[in-house]
Amino acid sequence: MAEKSLYKYRVEPQEVDFTLRATLASLGSSILNTAGVDAYGKGFGVDVLNADNHSWVLSRMAIEIDRRPEQYTDYTVATWISDYGRVLSTRNFTLTDAAGREFGRAVTQWAMIDLTTRSAVDLSWVGRQHDGAVVPVPPPAEKPRKIREVAPTQRMDHRVVYSDIDFNRHVNTMRYIEMMLDMLPVELLTSEAPVRLDIHFLKECRLGQTLTVGCEQRAHGALFEISGDGTTAAVRACVEWKTDPSSND
């Protein structure tokens, strides 16, 4: 029976803010790096898919962080695949400190695209061929929530440049997150309260596009919508800090 895979990390100086604790984006980057390394090690990474002109793309993600670890802190990311569908695969994560205490978790849903048509393809064959990689353990948090409507109270434009682009030639997930979080008050971003981020990718954004990042601020967080070149939404997201750090509601 397949088991969870474990990967070791350390919070490096380039991954912290001025509170000397890891940023949400840097923890998200570790989570996504873990997904890529684990898929590669199990024989269904982008290197294998690229040979057939396919690639993995992130469709939805939810991250919950209870506390942000300090600089030079060692931590472990555990990952496992809980299901394969025809359109989406669910990959899960937990983050634990050196003492084994869980401080974060994530649920991601992935699609496979044809690199020529940029359209989704049936990934059922991956489930059949790699069914031994499925771990019969449910996701550690609620699956990514859909954000259906955003009423921005402020907007910011961003032109997509070389440093925004990932190996799939579209905007990197963490760059989206950084664009959105940069619109929030620093008091929220440096809060020690637990935080949850949901992000839903609807369309690709590519090099040279001008993105409009819309933010609807709320009492303890915000809703976001990103569109490219004045078209319909490409990304929607929600970030929320719990007002009571001890609450699990």
Let me know whether 179 and 127 are in one domain: no
Cα 222 to Cα 147: distance, rounded to the nearest angstrom: 11
The pLDDT tens digits of the residues spanning 97-127 come to 999 999 999 999 998 888 888 888 887 777 6
Domain of residue 169, residue span:
145-249
Average pLDDT over residues 177-184: 96
Instruction: Quote the tokens at residue 234.
Output: 């490409």
Let me know whether 116 and 193 are in one domain: no
Decide which of 144, 170, 205 is a domain's last residue: 144
pLDDT above 80 (res 234)? yes
Coarse DSSP helix, strand, coil percentages of the chain, rounded to the nearest 5 percent: 20, 40, 40
pLDDT at 115: 80
Torsions phi, psi for 163 (to 5 deg): -70, -10
Decide which of 144, 163, 191 is a domain's last residue: 144
Distance, C-alpha 198 to centroid of its chain: 8
pLDDT at 247: 45
Distance, C-alpha 165 to centroid of its chain: 15
Let me know whether 60 and 115 are in one domain: yes
The pLDDT tens digits of the residues spanning 192-202 come to 999 999 999 99
Cα 124 to Cα 126: distance, rounded to the nearest angstrom: 5
pLDDT at 122: 83
Decide which of 144, 175, 198 is a domain's last residue: 144
Its pTM stands at 0.90
Number of domains in the chain: 2
Sorted by sequence, the CB contacts under 8 Å of residue 180 that are 6+ apart come out as 213, 215, 222, 224, 226, 237, 239
Let me know whether 151 and 116 are in one domain: no
pLDDT level of residue 73 (50, 70, 90 thresholds): very high
Query: What integer best gives the mean pLDDT of the chain?
Result: 91
Helix intervals (H) in the chain: 24-41, 46-50, 124-129, 173-181, 186-189
The pLDDT tens digits of the residues spanning 125-177 come to 776 777 778 899 999 999 999 898 899 999 999 999 999 998 888 899 999 99
Let me know whether 163 and 131 are in one domain: no
